Structure 1
Amino acid sequence: MPATSWAERVALLAAALWWGCATTIGFLVVPLLFMHLPTPAMAGAMAAKLFTAQTWVAVACGLLLLLVLRKNQADPSANRSMAAIVFVLLGMLVALLSEFAVAPRIVARENLRLWHSVGTVLYALQWGCALGALLRGVRGERSA
């Protein structure tokens, strides 16, 4: 197995941070807020702030991953899959859609059932894309 470069290590850390942050906030912290804070309104307000922070983690990690993956595209020995770039771009897109299209509607309490459902689906897509970037983009296709 070839030695990993610093760029690959940074990409691994970025992808792991993105996926780990999405996992921790979405599947652990936010549910705990709703279980332990006195009112759903308090939990929702805090959850909104956490989801905003997570969006910016996703964007920063995604940009870093794109830089590394783009650089590795020129290196035939790296054999990076185009799928990794698609995962990163799609994950960043759904994170930004959640932040700027869905979150304002939830905060405005506009058709909460619909927008919470849309937000949940987008968050799950982002989580899957971050996982795909972690597994596909960092590991690459070295066995090929």
Structure 2
Amino acid sequence: MRVGETLIQTLWVGSVWTVGYLVAPVLFEHLDSRAMAGRVAGELFTLVAWLSIVCGGLLFAGVVRDGIQNKGPRLRGALIIAMTALLGASEWLVRPLMEAARLPDGTPGDGFAMLHGVSAVLYLLGSLTGVWLVAVGVDRQDRGRRIEGVSGSGR
């Protein structure tokens, strides 16, 4: 994996984990209004979803480039697509339904909790896919170093 791809992947996976598991819980813990915490968290999740489109697209372009060069990183490509799709589905399929399930005063109405749960599961699966994506990259780099070390030792 090239340095630029490593930086993009770090930005993407890091932002997913930071917003979902550090920032959002802190908002709900420290803001006086749960509605305000939800609105701010929702805006941050929207930013993460857009970042997913950009980073996922750039990383997938690298996978396509490597595939054309017959390096064939199929698992990496599948993980990038899966992570982008899971985070995108949470934002653009489930979130509008969640908003529709709110009462006129902004409080959660019927079905909101179930939809929130679906969104949370999709986000969790996207987050875990990100960990897998990082692990695949680390494994590829380790294998490359071992191969270089073996071929370089006989000189």
CA-CA distance at 1:106 after TM superposition: 1.8
Comparing both chains, which one has the higher relative contact order based on Cα–Cα distances under 8 Å and sequence gaps of 6 or more?
A: 1
Q: Which residue of 2 aligns with 1:100?
A: 92
Residues 26-41 of structure 1 mapped to structure 2, 5 A cutoff: 26-41=20-35
Q: Which residue of 1 aligns with 2:53?
A: 59
CA-CA distance at 1:72 after TM superposition: 1.3
Residues 116-144 of structure 1 show CA distances to partners (whole Å, capped at 9, x for unaligned) of 11011100111122222222146535358
Moved more, 129-138 or 62-71: 129-138
Relative to the length of structure 1, the TM-score reads 0.85
Q: Which amino acid aligns with 1:111?
A: G
Q: Which residue of 1 aligns with 2:13?
A: 19
Identity percentage of aligned residues: 29
User: How many residue pairs are counted as aligned between the two chains?
Assistant: 136
Relative to the length of structure 2, the TM-score reads 0.80
Flag structure 1 segments of 5+ consecutive residues without an equivalent: none
Partners of 2:57 and 2:139 in 1: CA distance:
18
**Aligned residues of 2:66 and 2:73 also touching (Cα < 8 A):** no
Match of 2:82 among 90, 114, 139: 90
Q: Over aligned residues, Cα RMSD in angstroms?
A: 1.9
> Moved runs in structure 1, 4+ residues, more than 4 A?
none
**Aligned residues of 2:15 and 2:48 also touching (Cα < 8 A):** yes
Partners of 1:22 and 1:87 in 2: CA distance:
15
Q: Which residue of 1 aligns with 2:126?
A: 126
Partners of 2:32 and 2:58 in 1: CA distance:
39
Q: Which amino acid aligns with 2:59?
A: L
Q: 2:40 aligns to what SS in structure 1? A: helix
